[in-house]
Amino acid sequence: MAYEAKQPIYLPLTDFMNLEFHLMDTRPGVKPDAFVTELVQRWLAVEMDRLATLRNGRSTRGFQWKNVFLPDGSKLRTSYRNTHEFAKVVGDRILSETGESLTPSLFANRHTTGRNAWRFVWLRFPGDDHWIRAADCRTRLATRQIHSAKLDANH
């Protein structure tokens, strides 16, 4: 294992103990420092995406999935038998962690068949810090489009 320089971060003792006991119950073997490091790395990645989006605006490149546009930098997640897989929109393609070009259906069905990608793929758009099921995203978008059309018809 390579040497990694570390800097201490101080937490109130009660918070540290609560975290340690919680990890013992929910994630045996995971140490608080490793957990906090992973948490900070995830938070930084989301914040850096959000800041880049604020500075540069939304991407015009991306992947069009029926009526849902996945801008460049969008992340996709699916799971099968407790194994989570991730992919990312790069340019106008969806790429697996190994660099394989995928469609949403291929991504959802990499280890099985017959799965509806809208139900089994979760999305996280650049600048967002939460995941949304693709089907819910599609429904929200359709609802907004219907509402917008009604507003246009009334004017």
Nearest-angstrom CA–CA distance, 57 and 47: 15
Of the listed ranges 22-31, 59-68, 77-86, 119-128, the least confidently predicted one is 59-68
Q: Which domain holds residue 31?
A: 14-56
- Provide the domain count of the chain: 2
Give the whole-number percent of the chain exceeding pLDDT 90. 54
Nearest-angstrom CA–CA distance, 61 and 89: 9
Supply the mean pLDDT for the chain.
Answer: 87
Residue 138, in any domain of the structure: yes
Q: Helix 32-56 and helix 13-26: axis angle, to 10°?
A: 100
Same domain, 22 and 85: no
Helix (H) or strand (E) holding 139: helix 134-154
Same domain, 73 and 38: no
Please determine, for residue 153, whether its predicted confidence score (pLDDT) is greater than 90: no
